[in-house]
């Protein structure tokens, strides 16, 4: 760029005549509001000189690594790598002012890293808060007929090895547990097709573990439509049926608050949400194929487990006046010890002086509540009810 003052700018570049792809060496002079172009001859075309008013010339926005382009009324164009000269013209004529700001942002490493940080924060926030909120909304809006299909398809899958096997409990014992489950059904309420399925959580099948290395064993879980599965191993682990009813009431809380469905939606992402919300039963079967891993390996959030514990606590307090049976079996499930009770879970995570070794920060970072915290919450519910 050369010139005697800010009103005169001269640039070196190439010229295209709009009729062929050949380029010619050219010079562009901007003097005040006058633009003069001088293009050299190339052996095919002769030299060219043309003049326009600056207001007639279009200046394309800059792109990193690309020559700057000026377009003229006769569809010819001039290209130059003298970005500084073009920017001076833009500044004087107030052209591309907004895009000039974008160019400055693109050229700032600090702003680039800040933008990356903001993007990472947005993605984390969406995964941590946005996606769960969307999943909860979709679960609440899912029609009942889809829940029924969901349960049926999932049970059909689970009843095949190596997941679950037929219960080995006697017919009389199964009938007794079914009668007791009806008490929970009456308590839970809601327009759900409640049913209790008793199954063997450790079926023998050519040595394969359930869910790729996660056998169910002593367990109970609820499907979105109201189906509750309880294993023989959990029945054997319980000291009495009060403990089992506490577990079943807890699972009914997951049903009425649709925790399982929201968890499946969240695990599978957003791509299938629309089809299920609109009642696509074929897609409900697709969801069911992925449900076991989502329900049993992923688990529930802290808020979901606490909410289900509060439902179970209210049931236990109304029926027995205490939450201790549920507290005891939770500790037994945690320790995998038939002789354990709630006191067994109190010492977990404590140091020699009895001080909890996990900090509050570590506790907040856990996605699922610890058994000791759940037991303490159930105990607090009982104290508040007195």
Residues 150 and 97 in one domain: no
Residues 372 and 238 in one domain: yes
Tokens of 81: 């790598």
By CB neighbour count within 10 A (0-12 exposed, 13-18 middle, 19+ buried), where does 171 fall? Answer: exposed
Residues 56 and 153 in one domain: no
Domains held by the chain: number: 2
DSSP lists the bridge partners of residue 29 as 10, 36
Residues 94 and 163 in one domain: no
- Band of residue 2 on the pLDDT scale cut at 50, 70, 90: very low
Residues 61 and 179 in one domain: no
Q: What is the pLDDT of residue 107?
A: 58
Q: CATH code at 83?
A: 2.30.29.30
Q: What is the pLDDT of residue 294?
A: 61
Residue 329 has pLDDT above 90, yes or no: yes
Residues 83 and 202 in one domain: no
> Is 118 inside any structural domain?
no
Contact (CB, 8 A) for 268 and 290: yes
Residue 283 has pLDDT above 60, yes or no: no
Contact (CB, 8 A) for 272 and 286: yes
Residues 147 and 294 in one domain: yes
Q: What is the pLDDT of residue 343?
A: 76
DSSP conformational letter for 66: S
Mean pLDDT, residues 8-33 taken together: 90
Q: What is the pLDDT of residue 145?
A: 83
> Is 101 inside any structural domain?
yes
pLDDT tens-digit map of 91-139: 888 787 665 555 555 556 777 788 788 888 887 887 777 877 887 888 8
> Is 133 inside any structural domain?
no
Domain of 361 in residue numbering reads as: 141-385
pLDDT tens-digit map of 216-263: 889 999 998 999 999 999 999 999 999 999 999 999 999 999 988 887
More confident residue, 43 or 201: 201
């Amino acid at each position: 760029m050369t010139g005697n003052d800010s009103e005169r700018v001269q640039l070196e570049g190439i010229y295209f005549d709009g009729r062929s792809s050949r380029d010619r060496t050219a010079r562009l002079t901007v003097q005040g509001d006058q633009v003069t172009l001088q293009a050299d001859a190339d052996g095919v075309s002769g030299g060219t000189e043309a003049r326009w008013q600056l207001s007639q010339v279009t200046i394309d926005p800059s792109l990193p690594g690309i020559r700057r382009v000026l377009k003229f009324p006769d569809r010819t164009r001039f290209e130059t790598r003298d970005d500084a000269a073009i920017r001076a013209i833009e500044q004087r004529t107030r052209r591309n002012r907004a895009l000039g700001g974008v160019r400055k942002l693109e050229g700032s490493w600090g702003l680039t890293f800040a933008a990356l940080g903001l993007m990472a924060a947005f993605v984390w926030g969406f995964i941590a808060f946005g996606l769960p909120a969307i999943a909860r909304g979709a679960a609440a809006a899912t029609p009942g007929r889809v829940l029924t299909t969901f349960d049926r398809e999932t049970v059909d899958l689970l009843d095949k090895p190596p997941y679950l096997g037929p219960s080995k409990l006697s017919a009389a014992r199964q009938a007794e547990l079914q009668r007791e489950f009806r008490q929970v059904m009456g308590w839970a309420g809601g327009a759900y097709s409640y049913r209790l399925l008793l199954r063997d959580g450790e079926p023998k099948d050519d040595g394969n573990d359930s869910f790729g290395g996660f056998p169910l064993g002593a367990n109970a879980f609820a499907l979105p439509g109201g189906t509750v599965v309880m294993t023989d191993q959990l029945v054997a682990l319980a000291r009495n049926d009060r403990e089992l009813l506490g577990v079943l009431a807890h699972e009914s809380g997951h049903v009425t608050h649709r925790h399982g469905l929201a968890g499946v939606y969240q695990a599978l992402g957003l791509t299938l949400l629309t089809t299920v919300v609109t009642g696509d039963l074929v897609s409900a079967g697709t969801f069911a194929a992925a449900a076991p891993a989502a329900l049993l390996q992923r688990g529930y959030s802290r808020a979901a487990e606490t909410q289900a514990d509060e439902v179970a606590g209210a049931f236990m307090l109304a029926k027995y006046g205490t939450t201790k049976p549920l507290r005891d079996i939770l500790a037994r499930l945690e320790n995998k010890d038939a002789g354990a009770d709630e006191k067994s879970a109190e010492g977990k995570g404590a140091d020699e002086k009895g001080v909890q070794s996990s900090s509050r920060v570590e506790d907040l970072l856990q996605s699922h509540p610890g058994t000791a915290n759940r037991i303490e919450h159930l105990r607090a519910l009982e104290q508040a009810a007195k």
